[in-house]
Every structure is written in C-alpha cells, then in structure tokens.
Structure 1
Amino acid sequence: MEFWRIRKLFLAVFCLAQLIGHAQTTTVTIMGTVTDEVTGELLPFANVYINNSSIGTTTNEKGAYTLANLPIGNIDVAVSYLGYAPIKQTLRFEQPGLKKVLFKMRQGVELEGVVIFSKKSKKREQRLKIITRELLGAGRFSKLCKLLNPEVLRISLDDNGHLTAQTISPLKIENRALGYLIHQDLSDFDFYEGKVYYGGNTRFELLKPANEEEENRWRANQKTAYQGSLKQLLTSMVSDSLRENGFRVFQEIPDSLRMFSRVSTQNGMSFIKNHLHNRIEEVRGRALIRPGELETERLVVSGTKLEVFNLNKRSSSPYSDMSYAYSVISFPQGYSVISPQGWLIMPNGIDIRGDLGNDRFANLLPADWKRD
C-alpha cells in the first residue's frame, strides 16, 4: 500500500514538473527600459502593457520594466507616460525565453484642430455628450459608466462637419457594470452623420469591489457581455460550435460559383430570385479556421464576406426569415490571425459592421478575459 502511495506521489510531482517545464518553454518574458527619445533620460513609473488587455506593469525608479508569461506570436505592447506621446509597437516572438525590448518616447506635441472648444464652452458640453454617448454606447451597462477626466479631451469641429477628438493624456472610463477602469489613449475620434470611428491604445485595470456581492455581480455582467460578442464568435469558430453558442454564419458565394434561380413576371421579364440561400451558404466554424504558424495562432480565412446572425438576440436584418441581430464581417487580406481563445492578434485584418460593430466601452471585455 505504501509503495503505491509513493508511486502516485511521484507521478503527480512528475506531471507537475512537466506542466511547469512546458509553460516555461512556450511563453515569453520581455524586459527593458523606457527612456526619453532625445535626452535618454530614464522614465520612472511609465505604464507598459499589452494593448486591449489587463496585462501590464509600470517601470521602476530606474525606468526598467518586466512583463512575464506572454504567449509567443504577435504582441501589441503599448507605453504611456504623462507629458509624452503614447506609443505602440507590434512585436513577434517565435521562440520562447527572455527578450530585451527598449522603448523611446517623445514628448507630446500640440493637437491640431479647426475649432477647439474651451473647457467651459456650452458648445463643448454639447459635443462632449455626443462623444460620451458614442464611446459608452446606449446599452444598459452604459448607465453605470462615466468619464472621470473629460478635460483631457481636445474636441474640434471640422469645416466639413466631422466632430473629432483626441486626448492629451489617457482618458479614464470607469465601468462599474463590469468592474474595470479603462485608460484610453484616444489617438483619433471621428463622428459624422451618425457613424463613429475611434482608435488608440487601451489598458484595462481591475477595480476593487466593495464586497463579495459586487464582485459576483461584475462577474455575472462580464458573462452577459461575453454572450454574443466577437470574442465568443471567434472562439466558437475555433471549437466548431457556432450553432451550440447561438450563431449562424453564412459565407457569400463568389459570382463565378453562383447558380441563380430565375422567376418570370406577368410581363414575361426574368428576375433573379432574392433568397437567403441563393447568394450565401451556411458554413461551420471548422470550414473557416486554419492552423497558424505557431501553436498559439489560428487563421480565420474567407475570401468573401461573412454574414452573422445571433440567434439569442432578436433584431432586424435584411432577411425577413432571419429576424436576429445581424453583422457583416470581411477580411481585406482574405484572413485574420486570432488566438484559440478569440483574441484578435491582427485587429487591422478584419472589418466588422452591424451588431458586432456596435460594441462600446460599456460592454467591452479585455482580450485576456477568460471564461470559467
């Protein structure tokens, strides 16, 4: 009996060692310094983080930092420091281990604009309401979100009617629905004729819950935000479980492969029949996913656009027989790189319109958020 106990203990320790060894050989640790580009001065307490995530750190008194346990592959590392222009650098590591990465920052420059509204201007307040609405969205979680420092926004109205904005330091968005303080370096915001575009570096910081009840509520809301999100859609593609998670995805058929059905009218004229399955066909997740160059990567491949329906959300769509939340996804390069957990490794390789394109900071989860 004692022999078997010792043997089981040995096997358990051996398996743990194997897991630890595997983790050590499949992750990257980056370290280095953050300095002034011109003077070479070390910058203490600068924020160094993985863009769109809650993974980050700050430099010490000597301007040095360390970020450990990062996955191999592409990593968007962003750096911010008061009085300096934020930077972002895409790094690619195909081998695990310790990597040295140095960041040089440039002191911030004046933002350009046609008409810049002063802090106490009534026009500024009107424009600020629009920007707040477009950043937070109109969902139920938006009521529990607010901008803590709107004074960092520089708002301008161009002659062509575009409402634009930038930040001189990170905009802080408190999301008490999901439990995050979001630091947003808004490099570009453009609102015109009801459509909005914005971009920049995003850092998620975990808020401290007041009690266990608030912590549980945040976790429940996070799960709600995950349902029907782009992250869940991409994860469902990888696991080939689109239908099981409430999605139906249709791929546009190229003109060269289409077989049109024609119907005749009373006047004898012939028309192409406009039906859901005539120009698009339903696809499974495995038909869209290919292996990446690394084990931490997957490719979502489609030469034509995808039309996505969220069966758990009733809404209008171009099709009378599919009254569900509707989105259109296209890949300008024919593919996009993601992680198996639905983390967009190449954000510029995907264009999203419709329901999935309406995500705002009120229901936005960090890329490293994990399910139970």
Structure 2
Amino acid sequence: MKKLIWFFVFILSFDTSFSQNNYWQISGKVVERNQTPIPFANVFINNTRIGTTTDVNGNYTIKIPNNIQKADLIASFISYERYRTTIIKGISTQHNLTIVLQNGVELNEVKVIAQHDREWRRKWKLFSRGLLGESNFFKDCKILNPEVIKLDYNNKKKLIATADEPIMIQNDAFGLKIAFQMEKFETDGEQTYLAGFKFFTNLDSVSAEQSKKWAKNREKAYNDSFRNFLVSLAQRKLKENGFAIFKILRPKTMYYGRTSVASEISYGALAECTPEEICKYDAENGQYILQSDFPIMVFSTNRYVPIRIFADYPHPYSIIDLVRIYAAFTENGWLSKPNGILIKGYWGAEGMANLLPDDYAPQTQTFDTLPPLESNTSKIAFKGFEVDSIKSEVKIQGTNFNKKEVAEITEERTIPQIVSNDITVKISESDQNLTVFDLLRRIPGLMVINVQGQYQIHFRSTNTNLGGGGGSITPALLFDGNFIDDESTVMNILNNLNVRDIKSLGAVKYGNSAAFGARGANGTIVIVTNK
C-alpha cells in the first residue's frame, strides 16, 4: 500500500468572448491576513464555468454574463480555509473585492490502495449512484480521483462520504469536467443528501462531430431538467416547454394499476394548478419563490413512457415535495434556498450525470427577458411568516448548516420498498439477451406456460384462496413501486419489458392482504427498472 500526500490546484479558465455590454465584472486581490498576496489561488463562480486563478501578485478578474444577476463567489487555495460570498450585480458593472483567506486547513494523507474488498465496492456503488444519479447519462461519467473519498457508515447505517480535496468528475456525454468541493454526502440507498460547490470546465473536442454530439446531449438534458421547469415556471411558459402541473391533494404511496389524471381529479386526489398559484417573485431579494401546501406533480409532456400509469398522460412524472412550504430559486433555475425540498420520480433519478453549469443556456432559451412577477411586492408572506425574515439554520437529517454557508440539494431517488422479497432473481451480463419470462422461470414455484405464443404465469399453490374463487390466478405486479393487479396490464408490461431495463427482479410468493389486498394470495412479482 502506497501513502501519498496530494497537493491539488485547479487551473481555471473561462470564455472571454463576451461583448463589452453583455457582462459585468468582479476584480480584486486574494491575500493572507497580513496582506501578503496569494498567487495561483482559485477564484470562481459556483455552479458555472466562470473562473480564474490569481496572478503572481494575487490579482484576479472575473467577467460574468448579464443573465447571472447574483454571483456565488468562491475562493480557495491549498491549506487555507475556503472563502465564500454572494455579490449582486446591481447598477454598477464593476465590483472590487479584496479576499482574505484564513490559514488553518490541513490536508489529510491520501492512501492509495491497490485492491479493494467487496465491502468497499458495495459502498462505492452506493456512493457513485447517489452522487451521479441513475439516468441514461450515468454510464458516461467517471470519478477521476476516487482515492480522495472516504466512505463509512454512521450509527444510523447511512453511508457518509467525505473528501478533503475536490472530487473530479468527467462527463463524456456533455464534454464537461466538474470539480466538486463536497461539503456533505449522506445516503441510505433511497434518499441522498448532498451539498457542496461546483466548478465546470469544457473538455477539448477531437472533432466537429463530437462537439455536435455534446451540444445535443446538453440541450436534451436541459430540456428534461428540473432547472428548465423552474425557468419555464417563472416565464409562464410551462405548456410551451413541455410541462403540466397538478397539486396532489391526497398523496399516495403508490398508484393501484392504471388510472387517469381526469379520474384522480374527479376523486379529489389531484387538482389542476396554474403557475400563478405556486410561483411568486420576490423583488427585494431578486429571486422567485416556489410555494405550495401540497406536493406538486409535474409531467414532462415532451417525453413518453412505454408503461403508462396515467392513461391520459403517457409521460414521465416527478413529484416536488416542499417540506417547509417554500423554496427559492434564481431566474436561471438554480435553487438559492432549497429549504429541504424533496424531488421524487423522474427527476429524482438525476444526479451530477445530468448537471449543467449555471452559465449554460440552449440556443432556444434566453434568461435576460424574464417578466417581473408582482414586482411591487417587497415581501411575500406564506403561512403567517415572511420569507425574508427567516434567519434560522437549515437542518438536514440532524446536522445543522448555516444557510449562508451551504446550499443543500436534497433528492429522493427511489420509492421505498414496502415489503421484502421472498425470492430474488440474480441477473448477470449473460442474461441480457433473455426474455423476462426466462428470468421468471427461475422463481421457485412459479409456473410459466407458453400457450400458442401467449404466456401465462401463476404460482403452484394449495392455497384455497388461489384465484379468488374461480377468478384470475395471475400474480400481481409491483413495478417501480406502483402496484398493479389488473391481469391484462400485468401481462402487457411483462411482454414489453426488456431484460436490459431491469435493475432487480423478485417475488413475494403469497403476498399479504395488508399490503396488497385480496389479490396478494396470488403472489406478487416485484420489478425495479434502471430509470
């Protein structure tokens, strides 16, 4: 085992091609407490590609596009405490700031281990999925310096990750590299909490074709993103940009079989919603407020899903749960105060593999023409308190962070498993060319019969309730947390599902009436897909 001390410096760069009228500027010096200049210090705007390093005299200049009205400025250097401040553009286009870095950060020894054991690999899989997400872009991302990351479990059996150096992430789908200065990472495999600062750099393209592919992937990721939803919400362009919103008046753990939005509205479970109901503009603080007493369901109407839960909305959907009633975001769609927001479903599978810098904007989108909403309102009050009067610390899973120091992003990536499988089928790489029914044959006691090209499945059982007295004996299906007991829907899903899309497969052989109702006696197939 080798023991090394790693000293790390970013080389920060940014596009200086902004015209004189399209940017504002921050200039100054980075110094020690005794005013000694610090050369080669990193100075950058959080979540962007905008940054630089100080010259030999500690001087720096950063040019910021006008569409970014508020800059989260970060300065750092080896063995100094990280500096952070927020600068608002205002009327002036020139801002001068002297940054004083404090001594006191010791670099821990980095141990390079030649071979990792099975326990470490299990932790690493949990960490990488939590950090990068589970979208289609996950496979195109890699962590370049895993040796700087320490993984361990806390007393609540949650995985905790720490790193004394920035985690370097390369995204080959977008042509980007991210330096992530991680402040917090915690996951239990279902919910992931992470916080930190990010600086992006462009990778060098080897061909025009590669550049075109990167641009296409970036635009696709942006159009599908929670960030685009927030921008569209502020601009009142939800429908044009492919979003439909509803309030969830009666939250459900799962939807029972196929339903429709129209029927859920008639039952009083969902309610139609307008942007004006949930989004206000806080002119005093120059930010938008997303607020709702109820969770918000958002359909991405430009995308379609093969398995429809809602017959009249065959689109992927996400659920925004505003745990503390509201969250604040910028005109560019960045959460300036997440306030414990939970994002589930389609967007809940996203992570850093889908992350784009704040200064990114597709050709079809502009940010500097956002209409002011209720601009004559200096303070916005909800639930008897004023948004700008809250000074308390933000609490995440029992750990306190001052809201001025850490902007947390909280995500729930998967639907909690409400039962434990009686049987779990192992799926290997060699199984990718098989059918779902080939895998189902591995479940002990499950009969898989092919009758003239039509499959039938049922558990071999002496249970007197089998088939409910002459009815269907096809098992129910728990599909990505959605319980389906309609026989035709179950078989339709199984017939159209590709093994490559399955993350895990198992069964609850006899079910139980409390969780699954009377059909539980027929057993339940449990499938989780690679969302």
Secondary structure of the residue aligned to 2:48 is coil
Report whether the alignment pairs 1:108 with 2:124. Answer: no
Separation in structure 2 between the aligned mates of residue 172 and residue 290 of structure 1, nearest angstrom = 37
Which shows bigger deviation, 93-102 or 160-169? 93-102
Q: Offset at 1:186?
A: 0.9
Q: Offset at 1:104?
A: 2.8
Partner of 2:295: 305
* Alignment partner of 2:245 out of 241, 246, 249: 249
Q: Offset at 1:127?
A: 2.0
Q: Offset at 1:173?
A: 0.5
Distance 1:35 1:151, change over 3 A: farther
Report whether the alignment pairs 1:337 with 2:291. Answer: no
Separation in structure 2 between the aligned mates of residue 91 and residue 35 of structure 1, nearest angstrom = 19
| AA of the residue aligned to 1:283 | C
Contact preservation (8 Å) 1:300, 1:338: no
Distance 1:324 1:50, change over 3 A: same
Separation in structure 1 between the aligned mates of residue 306 and residue 231 of structure 2, nearest angstrom = 23
Q: Offset at 1:45?
A: 1.6
For 1:67-146, list aligned pairs within 5 A. Answer: 67-71=62-66, 73-106=69-102, 107-109=104-106, 119-120=113-114, 121-122=116-117, 123-146=119-142
For 1:150-229, list aligned pairs within 5 A. Answer: 150-229=146-225
Distance 1:133 1:177, change over 3 A: same
Distance 1:78 1:213, change over 3 A: same
Distance 1:63 1:333, change over 3 A: farther
Report whether the alignment pairs 1:44 with 2:35. Answer: no
Distance 1:252 1:94, change over 3 A: farther
Partner of 2:447: none
Contact preservation (8 Å) 1:316, 1:326: no
Number of residue pairs matched by the alignment: 324
Q: TM-score, normalised by structure 2?
A: 0.55
Distance 1:250 1:367, change over 3 A: same
Partner of 1:5: none
Partner of 1:266: none
Contact preservation (8 Å) 2:135, 2:349: no
Give the RMSD, CA atoms, in angstroms. Answer: 3.2
Distance 1:193 1:359, change over 3 A: closer
Q: Offset at 1:182?
A: 0.4
Distance 1:161 1:330, change over 3 A: closer
**Percent identity of paired positions between Structure 1 and Structure 2:** 25
Partner of 1:368: 359
Which shows bigger deviation, 284-293 or 234-243? 284-293
Separation in structure 1 between the aligned mates of residue 190 and residue 174 of structure 2, nearest angstrom = 27
Q: TM-score, normalised by structure 1?
A: 0.76
Contact preservation (8 Å) 1:48, 1:57: yes
Q: Offset at 1:219?
A: 0.4
Secondary structure of the residue aligned to 1:101 is strand
Partner of 1:348: 338
| AA of the residue aligned to 1:325 | P
Distance 1:194 1:48, change over 3 A: same
- 1:270-313 deviation per Cα after TM superposition (whole angstroms, max 9, x unaligned): xxxx9335254222335544444279754444454322122314
Q: Offset at 1:233?
A: 0.7
Q: Offset at 1:155?
A: 2.2
Q: Offset at 1:52?
A: 1.0
Separation in structure 1 between the aligned mates of residue 131 and residue 298 of structure 2, nearest angstrom = 24
- 1:154-185 deviation per Cα after TM superposition (whole angstroms, max 9, x unaligned): 22222331211121111110111001010000
Distance 1:370 1:165, change over 3 A: same
Q: Offset at 1:73?
A: 4.2
Distance 1:124 1:85, change over 3 A: farther
| AA of the residue aligned to 2:46 | N
Secondary structure of the residue aligned to 1:61 is coil
Secondary structure of the residue aligned to 2:297 is strand
Separation in structure 2 between the aligned mates of residue 202 and residue 317 of structure 1, nearest angstrom = 37
Distance 1:69 1:184, change over 3 A: closer
- 1:25-54 deviation per Cα after TM superposition (whole angstroms, max 9, x unaligned): xx54212222335x5442222221111111
Q: Which runs of 5+ in 1 are unaligned?
A: 1-19, 255-273
Which shows bigger deviation, 207-216 or 356-365? 356-365
Secondary structure of the residue aligned to 1:140 is coil
Distance 1:337 1:191, change over 3 A: closer
Which has the larger helix fraction? Answer: 1
Q: Offset at 1:144?
A: 1.7
Distance 1:97 1:303, change over 3 A: farther
- 1:222-265 deviation per Cα after TM superposition (whole angstroms, max 9, x unaligned): 111112201211222133221232211113569xxxxxxxxxxx
Q: Which runs of 5+ in 2 are unaligned?
A: 1-18, 251-262, 364-531
Secondary structure of the residue aligned to 1:164 is strand
Report 1 or 2 for greater relative contact order, CA contacts < 8 Å, sequence distance ≥ 6. Answer: 1
Report whether the alignment pairs 1:276 with 2:265. Answer: yes
Separation in structure 2 between the aligned mates of residue 31 and residue 153 of structure 1, nearest angstrom = 34
Bigger Rg over Cα: 2
